[in-house]
Amino acid sequence: NSKLRHVEKDVLIPQIMRDRAKELCSDKVQAFTKCCQETGFLMVVKCRQENSALKDCLVGYYSDPSFYEECKTEYLKQREEYRATGIKRKKQKITSNV
C-alpha cells in the first residue's frame, strides 16, 4: 500500500529531502560553515555569497519534482522494511555542522 498520510507527505518525506539535499550540497554547506566560523558576528555581511550558493543548491533540489519522487520512493521502501521487520532504520548521520 503506497497511500501516504498527511504527516508522511508534509513532514517525513520533506525530512528525507532536506537530509539528502544537504548531502548533495555538502561542498556549499562546508564553504558556508567555514566562512561563518572564520568571520563570527560579521557573517551576515561577509558570507552572503556562500549563503546564496547554498540556498540556490538546496532550493534547486527542493523544487525538483523528480527529486521528490526519488525521496518518496526511498521513504516507501523504508516504511515497507519497517512494517515487515518492526525494526526502525537508523537515521544516517550527516557529517556537516548544519
Answer for the pair 16, 75: CB distance below 8 angstroms, yes or no: yes
Evaluate if pTM is beyond 0.95.
no
More confident: 14 or 44: 14
pLDDT of residue 97: 47
Mean pLDDT over 84-95 rounds to 68
As a whole number, the mean pLDDT across the chain is 89
- Is residue 33 pLDDT above 90, yes or no? yes
- Is residue 47 pLDDT above 90, yes or no? yes
Q: Look-up: residue for cell 547554498?
A: 54
Answer for the pair 61, 19: CB distance below 8 angstroms, yes or no: no
Mean pLDDT over 79-86 rounds to 89
List the domain boundaries for the chain. 6-76
